[in-house]
Structure 1
């Protein structure tokens, strides 16, 4: 800037100095050449000081292009991961995810969610980054290769934006990892992305339901996804009273509910599950005072939680109360009521009672074995019971069999 301002004055001084002497034609010609040479030199030095600054300013405005790979390249990375590793057990803990009994960690952030196929060990998981974004990655239990990045997820209030490394973009209100990709849900619809596929599958969601936040079963291997009933928008106190009475009746075993259903993403088969939505909430008390053997609290509020305040599982939460798998004889769905553990043979549309206890069932888990059989283990009070082969149990069972529940029944 200063060189540009001083340029005319410097030029004038140089001209006056160079023209101060010399009167012959030869001397005048020499003076003229010297003047022109000085002017050219002065212009050159000024321009060279200005041009690099302008070029540097332009370079600062150029953003680094985003690196995008093809679906075939991403699929090749996945297949490289799949060359090693195998079947695994996946268990959610309060501090993270257990894979084959060991805590799974990712150096980039905390594991927030996952979708896994227990028979193959393949899984996709979401990690929460320190800047508030999420990263979706694919891996396989026991693989010698590192995880493969699939997408970046940003959250804006209740909306998610997903951008895959292959350039695909999704927006929705939920993101569900599956063992081979992920599903993005919206009101009334969802979109399934499979690693390596150029096509995105559209899924119709049943009216009045939305994709449940937590999925215990794997959508990719079973083709079933868990839906949760929408909240009642009516603020009528009588409606609230009716819902509370209905929930209490379900807890006591007097009536059934359809707050959760499994939906087949290919043929739209619906499997209602007799699990109440109220079970996902835990009570939080505040303004409490000790009264010796108990506390007296002024306020109580309820919020969804997989765990109770003491760190134990909230076994009434639908995540612990519902599971589903694929077997050689077809898909099976499991759910826990207050007093029973039941299995739904979806193909035969029959429900079998696996465990029953008048005083209540604490919890159950599925154990998928390397030979393809599935065991069911339940805690009944202080004791544990186990059915070693659920398919054999269903084939031999002749008692406590009922038709599969119908929606709205």
Structure 2
């Protein structure tokens, strides 16, 4: 069946289909362009038995995002609104659509793809791997109102005039994270978010920004305040922001706090009354689209030097769909990473994880050894913050010569991935 780009004439059929799949009310009644910064693709209903003219059998949108990766930046295809019409489910349309999404991400030069699944297992069959989980805590304000004042800091309201300072600070404070969205236009509006959103900047006497706090006041039962982010340069700054949050204790007893993975705010929270927020835990899945591009996007630790062979196997999509599978020589030196494709087998058949290494200094070909990953291990590891041992604990295919494993673990070290989709 033929996959094609969707146009303004497809907007209403597509929105009708996704509203039926995910809920919501379809309010648009006429053609309109899809939002900028994304590629919408789909399959006409007439391509399938029982199809009807003017309907879509399936469709999806690919966001053109950029994410932080090991101190660098990588292009990422964010998959959204992937749906199959009820009349065409169960016949393999979903698989063809997702395979086309992966191929289109490759054609658009994206290093990786990301999605937020409601059913992880169906995406896992196509190489996607869970890399992060959303975290939300309910925090009693009584724990925060007792925090002492922090000297040398004061708060500034975030307005349309000061919002660019918040954006700049967000990019600075998340630059060394893994998988955080850069939140650039046109996918992210650069003006005030609206819908009750508010924020405060934390600055010193010289006017230098040190952190920010953003929230939305929520009516009805429950904590009443959704805190979107607390970011600060130091623990000192995070304590100042938490103390400001404690001022809500005159009207509220609790707040809900959204966190990054292993968020530094956790170390600054006083008391032991915080508890996980109720409700499902959102998952983030990612998939390698281009192994070499993911590695080249990263910065290497300045002290790390050496070369390994990296082999990635991908049996989830047909050969040529993307650039995830292959063999490369990966070299780190002077803070940069070089990735060169390696064609054919070595004269000795190629090093294999576990091969004997009598001299203990590599595999005899100028490398530290070989790492073998399946697509799920590659998707987990190349986004950073995990080790080959972590991949093996999850039952993923990850084997390596000892020196090569130590090298790759050091190369991909860093905080575990976090994805937060809005300010």
TM-score above 0.5 = no
Task: Using structure 2 for the length normalisation, give the TM-score.
Answer: 0.22
Q: If you compute each CA radius of gyration, which structure gives the higher value, 1 or 2?
A: 1
Q: Relative contact order (alpha carbons < 8 A, sep ≥ 6): 1 or 2 greater?
A: 2
TM-score by length of 1: 0.22
